[in-house]
Structure 1
């Protein structure tokens, strides 16, 4: 697992919102991850609480894998995938 995955592992997703061109994924411990690109959440109804279990790179971005077969896809073009500026933990 990469560095960001280790920082996110075990956190419970409490909300996903959008402010202007920034998507914000908030966690139960008061931290949030801002993403300067589109996110696409997939939550399985009546699944386990959406805790982060993994964070993986995909062809067109990243995927935050959550418990209960839920996930959040983060779209990014190839230039943004390798750039740390797209993610900001706050």
Structure 2
């Protein structure tokens, strides 16, 4: 699944993670709710704005990006924005 926009915030709530997904925008906040028992690889990229991640972090993280395996890493979750905050919330 792919969700993309240029100048708007994105809010996505996942009841059960069953597939890879990508969320991208150019300008605006991204909020993603993911079940706490999910298995995925999280990749985030941003130029300006903060990243808030409710999942334990043990991967390769920089001040602008996160690359980490959550659980077994079964699915890929890619989230990116040029300007805006990224929030990954346990649900």
How does the TM-score come out when normalised to structure 1?
A: 0.27
- Bigger proportion of residues as helix: 1
**More strand by percentage:** 2
Which of 1 and 2 has higher RCO (CA within 8 Å, sep 6+)?
A: 2
Q: TM-score, normalised by structure 2?
A: 0.27
